[in-house]
Amino acid sequence: MSPGIIFQIHLVLGYVAWSLCLGAYIWPRLKAMDHTEAHRAIATLHSFRFFGLVFMLPGVVGANLPAHFAHFAATYDFATGVLAMLALITVRIRPLFWLFVIAFNLVGLADLVLDYTHAVQVDLPAHAGELGAAYAIPILFVPTLMITHLIAFYLLARRQFGARQELADAAAS
């Protein structure tokens, strides 16, 4: 089996495993939590995205890892992690907290989508061995990041819809 096929199997199964785990254990808890606390939990996970800087560390990744892919992935992972940390730091200042929650989710989701685009352009699956020790990031970490961004946007939209419904109910009364 080629390295590219193995990488793609790993990636797909990473999404399957995390979807099952999140669906069974994490999603029910997030839905039951206070809205702010649910977003704090998601921000805590994403605050570790500084780890993406590893893509630029010689010796951790192979010398033939496409530089454009590595630099972009590392930079925007780092930015997302810092924004998530700022959300956590500002939780008591709600307008800032929500600004950073939206910011880290927008930047983080854009990062992952663009990373996938770059990965296809440089045929990353065929060069998966060049990821070296960072191979686990796209297989284990990226699926849960993508899924939690989608959950965060769902929770934000649900909150927005709930607020509109409350206003409509109040106006009708």
Q: Which amino acid is at 84?
A: A
What pLDDT digit, counting tens, does each position of 113-171 carry? Answer: 999 999 999 999 988 999 999 999 999 999 999 999 999 999 999 876 555 554 455 55
What pLDDT digit, counting tens, does each position of 71-123 carry? Answer: 999 999 999 999 999 999 999 999 999 999 999 999 999 999 999 999 999 99
How far does the chain reach from its first CA to its final CA, in angstroms? 66
- Give the model's pLDDT for residue 131: 93
Task: Sketch the domain layout of the chain as residue ranges.
Answer: 43-172
What pLDDT digit, counting tens, does each position of 49-78 carry? Answer: 999 999 998 889 998 888 888 899 999 999
Answer for the pair 50, 63: CB distance below 8 angstroms, yes or no. no
Answer for the pair 66, 124: CB distance below 8 angstroms, yes or no. yes
Answer for the pair 35, 162: CB distance below 8 angstroms, yes or no. no
Q: Which residues contact 44 (CB under 8 A, 6 or more apart)?
A: 84, 88
